[in-house]
Structures are given as C-alpha cells and as structure tokens.
Amino acid sequence: MFEKCSRKSISENQVRVNTNKGDKYYADLYRKCRKRIDYLRKKDNFAQEDFYARLAQEGISRRDFFKWISATTASLMLPVSFEPLLAQTIEVINRVPVIWANFQDCAGNSEALLRTDGPTVDELILDIISLEFHELLMAPSGEAAEQQLADAMTTFQGEYILFVEGSIPTADNGVYGTIGASGETYVEHITRLAADCAAIVAVGSCATFGGVPSAAPNPTGAKGVMDVVTGKPIVNIPACPANPSNILGVVLLYTMTGELPDLDPLLRPKFAFGTRIHDACERRVHFDVGNFVEEWGDEGAQKGYCLYKMGCKGPFTFNNCPTVKFNRETSWPVAAGHGCIGCSEPGFFDKFGAFEKPALYDSSYNPASDVFPVENIVVNGGK
C-alpha cells in the first residue's frame, strides 16, 4: 500500500502550521500587501498587460485560474483570505523589473523556464514579468546587449531584482570568467550588478552553493553568490535546475509584499524548502517498514518500494519536489523510479556524488525526527 501524499494535504498542513503566526500577523501583512499593490498599480512606466485576455487566448478558463490561485496561496503558506490579493498581484507583476545574469552555468534554469508546448498558468505569468535583461532570451548581442543592461540598470536603479544563474569563479583574480569587450571578470560583473539592485535571487545549485563547477578540485574557485556578494538581501533557490514554481513563488511574494519570503539559515524560502523530500515521499511507508528496492528492475522496484538502498538522498534533502513536481505536476524523480540525488543541498555534487549508492548514517538517526544528522553522513563510494 502506498501512502498518499497529495499536494492538497501538504498545503493544508502548511497553512495549519503557518496560521500559528496569529491573526494580528496576517491582518498586518494583509494591510501591507494592499498598500503595496495600490502603489504598484500607480506606477506608469510599465506596459499594460491584460492578463485575463492572455489566459483566454491560451484557452485557460477563469475557473482553472482561480483553482491555481487557491493551490498557489496554500503552497506559499498563506491563509485563504489572501487569494484575492494574489490574483490582484498578478495584474501588477510586470511592475517589478527583473535583470537576469548568467555566469558559470549550463543555462539549465533558464531552459526550465521556457515553455515547451501550451503554457500553464505559471508559465504565462513568467512570460509577463518585466524581464529587462536576459542574455539567453533577448535578441541584442555584443555592444547592443551591454547598452541594454546599462539602460535597465539606470532606469530601474534600486528597484530591480537581480536573478543570478551560475557560480562565480574567484581563483586567480577571477580570470576564469570574463564578460564583454572590457574583460570585466564575473566577480566585478556581479559586484556592479548587485550594487544597485533591490535584492538578489540566486537560482539553481551553482548560483546558490557552487554546484557542479565547484566540485573537487574546483580549479576555478567557483562559489555561490552569497559567498561573493555582501550587503544585499539574498534568496537562494537551489536545485539542478530550480523548479520554476519556486522561482515564481518568490517573484509573487516579493511583488505582493515588497519583501523577501521567510528564509531558512541557508537563505532558502521556507515555503519551498521547509520539508524534507523523505517526509513527503510517496514511498516513505516502505522505508519505515523496511521494503527496499535491492536492484534495478527487481520485484521491489515493480512494487514501488523505497529507493534508499539504490542511492536515494531524499532523507538528506530539503525541497518540495514530491508536492510541486515537474512537467505540469505529472511526476518527479522518485515517482519515476530513481532516487533523489540531493541536488538542492550544499555539497552537491561532491558529498552526494555516488548517485546510486546509499548514504550511510550513524545510529543517532531517527527517521521520524525533523533533524537529520547531516554532519554524520558518510557517503558510500564517494566520487
């Protein structure tokens, strides 16, 4: 028997937990959001977008849109009274300018944002955000691109959110990554871009914790943004790639409140990274009773048993993959039959390098506990 762990049950649980913040907290937050939305409505240097016309054009009904609003409000850990505010936020979401900069990366996070066929509500919203600069998506290149970046930074000085994809090479004075005709190093580039932004959102494992470019022996001295930039508010959305739903969640919350979401000690938004993969996994009941897949394709695999012995790092990984999922919420890696490889944790990929070998842990581990003794993990096999 599988333990059913639907998005609805997780969301309800999150709201119940979060409601502990109390009525006054939410009343104050509601007022603050109301003021912020009114302020954004009055800003006039942005194109008017009729979002509902776009929805109709793409064949998405209002009913489906409001179902999406309900699910998203819950997944952002907000009470139902915020649903109308969230709908109004989408009407002004293009009034928050975004500059997206790429560094040492494969552009996989940008690729994850690009739609493949008919768009979902998430994709439509990401389509209408005010993306003022994105090397991969825009037409200009060379000097014209540099001019576009300079114009965006001047026009929206102090207002833009700086999205960063990729790690920053710091070794040997940063010579391993340069950009533009002047040979500006990536360290100089991010320092300049960060100086006038309102906040930084580091997207993907490389921008957050260094990711694959920082794997041993890390010849370029690759680092995540938070280890290079100081004095700016930073949100980390790790994973390889970051789930577009989590990127959208941060943009929605920032647009609505004017502030960054609640963060954990690793600067990850709690609404997305507050739960361990292992605790929301549909195979968890098998872990608890000791039903494991022992080799690929065996009877346990066919019965959907736990993948721990096949290398699943779900017990060590915080992310909302089991509830938010991928590919239009159809599936996620463990549902598809392969263990989690821990892509959203610091230390990926060295610490969790042996994808298909189990991690070992000492006897102090209690599977029912919220605290996992990560420092005691010895990965079997290494790189």
Residues in contact with ligand SF4 by the rule CB under 6 A: 239, 277-278, 281, 283-284, 287, 306-308, 312, 314-315, 317, 319, 321, 332-334, 339-344
255 near 96, Cβ under 8 Å? yes
**Least distance from ligand SF4 to the Cβ atom of residue 3, Å:** 9
Closer to ligand SF4 by Cβ: residue 226 or 239: 239
Beta bridge partners of 359: 379
**Least distance from ligand SF4 to the Cβ atom of residue 341, Å:** 4
Closer to ligand SF4 by Cβ: residue 161 or 239: 239
Beta strands in 221-260 (DSSP E): 222-223, 234-237
Closer to ligand SF4 by Cβ: residue 157 or 331: 331
**Least distance from ligand SF4 to the Cβ atom of residue 347, Å:** 13
Rounded Cα gap, residues 100 and 202, in angstroms: 10
Closer to ligand SF4 by Cβ: residue 249 or 315: 315
**Least distance from ligand SF4 to the Cβ atom of residue 208, Å:** 12
Closer to ligand SF4 by Cβ: residue 177 or 342: 342
The strand pair at 378-379 and 359-360 is best described as antiparallel
| Crossing angle for the helix pair 62-75 and 244-257, to the nearest 10 degrees | 80
Closer to ligand SF4 by Cβ: residue 38 or 362: 362
**Least distance from ligand SF4 to the Cβ atom of residue 336, Å:** 10
**Least distance from ligand SF4 to the Cβ atom of residue 127, Å:** 23
Encoded amino acid at 244, one letter: P
Which residue of the chain is nearest ligand SF4 when measured via CB?
314
Listing DSSP states for 95-125 in one string gives: GSEEEEEE-BS-SHHHHHHS-SSS--HHHHH
Closer to ligand SF4 by Cβ: residue 130 or 243: 243
Nearest of 139, 189, 182, 140 to residue 164 by alpha carbon: 189
* Radius of gyration of the CA atoms of the chain, in A: 21
Q: Is 231 exposed, middle or buried (0-12, 13-18, 19+ CB in 10 A)?
A: exposed
- Name the DSSP class of 141: -
Rounded Cα gap, residues 306 and 284, in angstroms: 7
**Least distance from ligand SF4 to the Cβ atom of residue 355, Å:** 9
